[in-house]
């Protein structure tokens, strides 16, 4: 497919705010695609080239300005000036390329495949000279692009499509394009996790929501409970488990082959050869999928801070050494597949019994601490013990409930002592003063509301120098604009924020601000991305909950 064809669809999508119209436009687009083109077109229509959510291309506004300047034969300063007027680098590129002086002789027509391939290569480029290599890949596209095409290439790279297409519309459009039920498409997403692949299955009439060993399943999630008492009253039969503060892992074992997936369905097998070995040794079934929470532990088996585990997740080289330096422990709490059969529809009680039979426990690969009780005093003791051992709290689970992939359906309820921290995305920051002038400090945080990010307060204090250093390194390439000391940022980095209280505030678009916010952790991209941050609706709920606590 020509990229210009896709661009015509982008333009139509951009010109209507109506969701149903957008769905129909997308359905028309998907129907036109060959089987080969379809997965690429679907992802590009969502403004990405990778199925796992956010596009992590590592290209910042500054680099983009340089490429546009180079290709259009103008200067960075002029691009910056125009960008200040338009607030959109895509539009800026379009305007400059319209007037480009360079010869367009020998220009090749851009295909969807070419754009897709070049963008896919970007995150893999590392090491010396990587900036220049990335610039060349983008410049190659922009030099062949018509002005309108350039606009959307730039927007795709910066993850700012502005065409109002969210995952829900894509799901509905796939259903409409190939005559499927929306519910069916959604169910398959729990197993496939990639609308590009799902569209192909729908086109070929092979849409089936089936668990497959080696392919990640979207994980089941927990709701919050106001307190232990209410959580316990919720279910006829409940199991209490420690809520470990670590990293969710889904382990797939097929003979001697092990695959490990993160909460966001990313393959993290390479980073955790130790977990793969434990799984081979301790899982007694031939084929099995189990879930647990991985923690970094010290020699005595006590949990170490989450940052240590984060180092393990990020590590791409010298893995053997980090395995020794930062040992992990997996605390297992579910089993969803066994020897050719899905166990997701079985009640948790049966899944737990089977998990206990299937796993040979060791210090590093063990069953999660749990207690079945209806007795409040006993439950409270168990909860306090979990807190004393440095964990976040407990999860109260309905023993009769099935495993519901990808959803918060109220079968698991988390109980924590402190007010629920919030995951927010950093959309702006301020350069510090004096000794701190080289760091970005005061962070502007945003929550999600209807597919966009809205400001929900600032976090100025409590950052250690090490954290400021790390954050500045991560945030600097994401700067899209500067005004005085304040910078605006592409929404990529997610932070977990603790606070004393949520307050109403007309100052921020979310309608809320946080009292005494403090940084709990910088989230790892494999764990949580911008699409996973808390919503304003979550803040409404927490706001009401906190009033009830008083
Ligand atoms: P939080 O920010 O509170 O960790 P979350 O948004 O990451 O929450 P939730 O659905 O609220 O996710 O809580 C479930 C998470 O808690 C799981 O993804 C898992 O990583 C972790 N967890 C720790 N212990 C358990 C357990 N025993 N059972 C299920 N999940 C557990």
Q: Which span out of 125-139, 254-268, 454-468 was modeled with the highest average pLDDT?
A: 254-268
Same domain (yes/no): 391, 499: no
Residue 287 within any structural domain of the chain: yes
Ligand 1 binding pocket mutation candidate from 295, 303, 414 (most atoms within 8 A of CB): 414
Is 461's pLDDT higher than 80? no
Q: Which residue matches tokens 């532990």?
A: 297
pLDDT digits (tens, 9 = 90+) for 144-167: 999 999 999 999 998 889 999 988
Q: Which residue matches tokens 């060349």?
A: 136
Provide the domain limits for residue 46: 3-157
Same domain (yes/no): 28, 114: yes
Q: How many CB atoms lie within 10 A of CB 529?
A: 23
Q: State the average pLDDT over residues 39-49.
A: 95
Q: State the average pLDDT over residues 315-339.
A: 91
Joined together, the tokens standing for residue 251 give 């382990």
Is 141's pLDDT higher than 90? yes
Residue 185 within any structural domain of the chain: no
- What is the structure's pLDDT at 55? 45
3-state SS of 494-544? EEEEECCEEEECCCCCCCEEEECCEEEEECCCCCCCHHHCCEHHHHHHHHH
Q: Which residue matches tokens 């701190």?
A: 436
Active site (annotated) includes residue 384: no
Backbone angles phi, psi at 414, to 5 degrees: -95, 140
**Closest atom of ligand 1 to CA, residue 423:** 2
- Those residues with Cβ within 8 angstroms of residue 77's Cβ, 6 or more apart along the chain or in another chain: none
pLDDT digits (tens, 9 = 90+) for 488-528: 998 999 999 988 889 889 889 999 999 888 888 889 887 88
Question: How many domains is the chain built from?
Answer: 3
- Those residues with Cβ within 8 angstroms of residue 240's Cβ, 6 or more apart along the chain or in another chain: 370, 371, 372, 373, 379, 382, 383, 394, 395, 396, 397
Same domain (yes/no): 490, 359: no
CB-neighbour burial class of residue 277 (10 A; exposed 0-12, middle 13-18, buried 19+): middle
Pairing of strands 365-367, 518-522: unpaired
Same domain (yes/no): 92, 38: yes
Same domain (yes/no): 299, 411: yes
Determine contact, residues 84/481, Cβ cutoff 8 Å: yes
Maximum CA pair distance of the chain? Answer: 80
- 44, 48, 166, 226, 327 from 116: Cα distances, Å: 8, 9, 19, 46, 39
Is 541's pLDDT higher than 60? yes
Which pLDDT band holds residue 103 (cuts at 50, 70, 90)?
Answer: low
Joined together, the tokens standing for residue 141 give 């596209």
Residue 213 within any structural domain of the chain: no
Same domain (yes/no): 349, 441: no
Ligand 1 binding pocket mutation candidate from 223, 293, 355 (most atoms within 8 A of CB): 293
Which pLDDT band holds residue 57 (cuts at 50, 70, 90)?
Answer: low
Same domain (yes/no): 445, 386: no
Same domain (yes/no): 392, 471: no
pLDDT digits (tens, 9 = 90+) for 181-231: 999 999 899 888 889 999 999 999 999 888 989 999 999 999 988 789 989
Q: Which residue matches tokens 């130790």?
A: 274
CA distance 198 to 528: 23
- What is the structure's pLDDT at 548? 55
- 10, 217, 291, 316, 397 from 252: Cα distances, Å: 39, 10, 9, 21, 23
3-state SS of 218-285? CCCEEEECCCHHHHHHHCCCEEEEEECCCEEEEEEEECCEEEEECCCCCECHHHCHHHHHHHHHHECC
Q: How far is the CA of 141 from the centre of ligand 1 (A)?
A: 42
- What is the structure's pLDDT at 480? 84
Q: Please state the separation of Cα 391 from the chain's center in Å.
A: 23
Shortest-distance Cα residue to atom 30 of ligand 1: 243
- What is the structure's pLDDT at 101? 58
Is 168's pLDDT higher than 70? yes
**Closest atom of ligand 1 to CA, residue 421:** 2
125 vs 347 pLDDT, higher one: 347
Determine contact, residues 347/335, Cβ cutoff 8 Å: no
Residue 398 within any structural domain of the chain: yes
Q: State the average pLDDT over residues 347-360.
A: 98
Q: Percent of the chain at pLDDT above 70?
A: 96
* End residue of a domain, out of 373, 401, 416: 416
pLDDT digits (tens, 9 = 90+) for 118-140: 999 988 787 788 888 999 999 99
* End residue of a domain, out of 416, 451, 469: 416
- What is the structure's pLDDT at 102? 55
Q: How far is the CA of 508 from the centre of ligand 1 (A)?
A: 29
507 vs 101 pLDDT, higher one: 507
Shortest-distance Cα residue to atom 13 of ligand 1: 222
Residue 34 within any structural domain of the chain: yes
Is 357's pLDDT higher than 50? yes
Shortest-distance Cα residue to atom 9 of ligand 1: 222
Same domain (yes/no): 375, 436: no
* End residue of a domain, out of 104, 122, 157: 157
CA distance 320 to 125: 23
Give the N- to C-terminal CA distance of the chain in Å, as an integer. Answer: 60
Same domain (yes/no): 368, 292: yes
Q: State the average pLDDT over residues 381-393.
A: 89
**Which residue in 265, 222, 226, 264 sits closest to 242, CA to CA?**
222
Least confident of 312-326, 349-363, 484-498: 312-326
Ligand 1 binding pocket mutation candidate from 290, 395, 530 (most atoms within 8 A of CB): 395
Shortest-distance Cα residue to atom 24 of ligand 1: 243
CA distance 293 to 281: 18
Helices (H), strands (E): how many in the chain?
A: 20, 20
Q: State the average pLDDT over residues 102-111.
A: 70
- What is the structure's pLDDT at 104? 56
pLDDT digits (tens, 9 = 90+) for 417-432: 766 789 999 999 999 8
List residues near ligand 1 (CB under 6 A): 219, 221-222, 241-244, 248, 263, 293, 333, 368, 395, 414
Joined together, the tokens standing for residue 215 give 């392919």
Q: What's the pTM?
A: 0.72
Shortest-distance Cα residue to atom 8 of ligand 1: 222
pLDDT digits (tens, 9 = 90+) for 14-26: 999 999 999 999 9
CATH number, domain containing residue 299: 3.30.470.30
Q: State the average pLDDT over residues 44-61.
A: 76
Residue 180 within any structural domain of the chain: no
Residue 203 within any structural domain of the chain: no
CATH number, domain containing residue 487: 2.40.50.140
Same domain (yes/no): 411, 436: no
Q: How far is the CA of 180 from the centre of ligand 1 (A)?
A: 33
Q: Determine which one of 243, 397, 416, 448 is catalytic.
A: 243
Residue 532 within any structural domain of the chain: yes
Is 549's pLDDT higher than 70? no
Shortest-distance Cα residue to atom 4 of ligand 1: 245
Pairing of strands 408-416, 247-254: unpaired
Element spanning 386, H or E: helix 376-388
Same domain (yes/no): 437, 397: no
Which pLDDT band holds residue 356 (cuts at 50, 70, 90)?
Answer: very high
Q: How far is the CA of 176 from the centre of ligand 1 (A)?
A: 35
Mean pLDDT over the full length of the chain: 90
């Amino acid at each position: 497919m020509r990229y210009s064809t896709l661009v015509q669809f982008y333009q139509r999508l951009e010109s209507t705010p109506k969701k149903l119209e957008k769905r129909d436009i997308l359905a028309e687009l998907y129907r036109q695609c060959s089987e080969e083109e379809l997965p690429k077109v679907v992802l590009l229509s969502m403004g990405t080239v990778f199925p796992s959510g956010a596009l992590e291309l590592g290209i910042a506004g500054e680099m983009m300005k340089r490429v546009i300047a180079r290709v259009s034969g103008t200067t960075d300063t002029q691009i910056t000036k125009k960008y200040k007027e338009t607030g959109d680098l895509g539009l800026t590129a379009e305007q400059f390329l319209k007037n480009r002086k360079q010869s367009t002789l020998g220009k090749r027509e851009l295909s969807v495949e070419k754009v897709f391939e070049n963008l896919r290569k970007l995150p893999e480029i590392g090491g010396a000279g990587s900036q220049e290599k990335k610039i060349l890949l983008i410049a190659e596209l922009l030099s062949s692009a018509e002005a309108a095409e350039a606009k959307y290439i730039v927007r795709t790279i910066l993850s700012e499509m502005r065409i109002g297409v969210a995952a829900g519309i894509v799901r509905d459009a796939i259903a409409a394009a190939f005559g499927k039920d929306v519910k069916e498409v959604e169910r398959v997403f729990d197993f496939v996790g990639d609308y590009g692949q799902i569209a192909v299955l729908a086109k070929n009439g092979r849409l089936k929501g089936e668990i497959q060993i080696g392919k990640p399943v979207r994980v089941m999630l927990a709701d919050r409970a106001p307190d232990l008492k209410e959580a316990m009253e919720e279910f006829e039969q409940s199991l209490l488990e420690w809520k470990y503060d670590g990293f969710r892992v889904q382990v797939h074992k097929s003979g001697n082959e092990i695959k490990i997936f993160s909460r966001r369905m990313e393959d993290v097998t390479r980073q955790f050869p130790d977990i793969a070995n434990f799984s081979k040794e301790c899982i007694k079934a031939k084929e099995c999928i189990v879930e647990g929470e991985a923690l970094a532990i010290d020699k005595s088996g006590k949990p170490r801070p989450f940052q240590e585990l984060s180092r393990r997740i990020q590590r791409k080289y010298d893995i053997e050494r980090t395995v020794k330096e930062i040992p992990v422990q997996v605390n297992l709490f579910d089993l969803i597949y066994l020897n050719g059969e899905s166990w997701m529809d079985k009640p948790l009680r049966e899944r737990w019994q089977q998990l206990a039979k299937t796993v040979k426990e060791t210090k590093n690969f063990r069953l999660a601490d749990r207690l079945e009780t209806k007795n409040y005093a006993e439950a409270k003791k168990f909860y306090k013990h979990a807190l004393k051992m440095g964990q976040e709290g407990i999860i109260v689970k309905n023993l009769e409930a099935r495993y519901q992939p990808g959803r918060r359906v109220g079968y698991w309820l988390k109980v924590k002592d402190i007010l629920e921290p919030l995951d927010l995305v950093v959309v702006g920051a301020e350069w510090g003063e004096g000794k701190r002038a080289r760091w970005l400090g005061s962070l502007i945080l945003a929550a999600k509301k209807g597919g966009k990010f809205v400001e929900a307060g600032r976090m100025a204090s409590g950052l250690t120098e090490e954290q400021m250093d790390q954050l500045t390194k991560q945030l600097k390439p994401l700067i899209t604009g500067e005004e005085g000391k304040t910078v605006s940022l592409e929404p990529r980095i997610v932070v977990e924020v603790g606070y004393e209280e949520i307050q109403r505030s007309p100052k921020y678009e979310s309608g809320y601000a946080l009292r005494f916010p403090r940084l709990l952790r910088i989230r790892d991209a494999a764990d949580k991305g911008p699409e996973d941050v808390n919503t304003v609706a979550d803040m409404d709920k927490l706001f009401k909950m906190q009033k009830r606590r008083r």
